[in-house]
């Protein structure tokens, strides 16, 4: 599983804004290579990406500011290549090579 051969990973860009970047090392844009398949062998989808981000990218211990009840916390918008994830199948969307996934929080103030 930790074997990162190029055909086993897909390169994607993940961005955080609206205050979420504070939870991800104050960095807005992350270029990542995520496993092509999840532990059960299914194609990686947004649900997998979210747990992957929590385990591998997020250093802040306050996971529940990003995830609640095993999904993205209500109030955080997810855009897949600029489209609302609700138009793309929400967390069932299978991630494609080169995808841009943006998480925007609406919860933080000005």
Burial (Cβ within 10 Å: 0-12, 13-18, ≥19) of residue 110: exposed
Contact flag: residue 13 with another protein (CB under 8 A): no
Tell me how many residues contact another protein (CB under 8 A). 27
b vs e for 5-39, b when ≥16 Cβ sit within 10 Å of the residue's Cβ? eeeebbebebbbebbbbebbeeeeebebebbeebe
Out of 9, 13, 17, 37, the residue judged to bind another protein by CB under 8 A: 17
Site residues for another protein, 65-94, by CB under 8 A, read: 65, 73-75, 77, 79, 82-84, 86-89, 93
Q: Which stretch binds another protein (CB under 8 A): 4-12, 14-22, 40-48, 50-58?
A: 14-22
**Residues contributing to the site for another protein (CB under 8 A):** 17-19, 22, 62, 65, 73-75, 77, 79, 82-84, 86-89, 93, 102, 104-110
């Amino acid at each position: 599983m930790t074997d990162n051969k190029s055909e086993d990973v897909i390169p994607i860009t993940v961005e955080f804004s609206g205050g979420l970047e504070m939870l991800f090392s104050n960095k807005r844009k992350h270029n990542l290579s995520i496993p092509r398949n999840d532990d059960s062998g299914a194609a990686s989808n947004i649900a997998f990406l979210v747990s992957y981000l929590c385990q591998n990218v997020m250093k802040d211990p306050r996971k529940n500011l990003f995830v609640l009840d095993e999904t993205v916390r209500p109030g955080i918008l997810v855009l897949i290549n600029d489209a609302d994830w609700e138009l793309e199948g929400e967390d069932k969307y299978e991630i494609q090579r080169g995808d841009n996934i943006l998480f925007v929080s609406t919860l933080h103030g000005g």
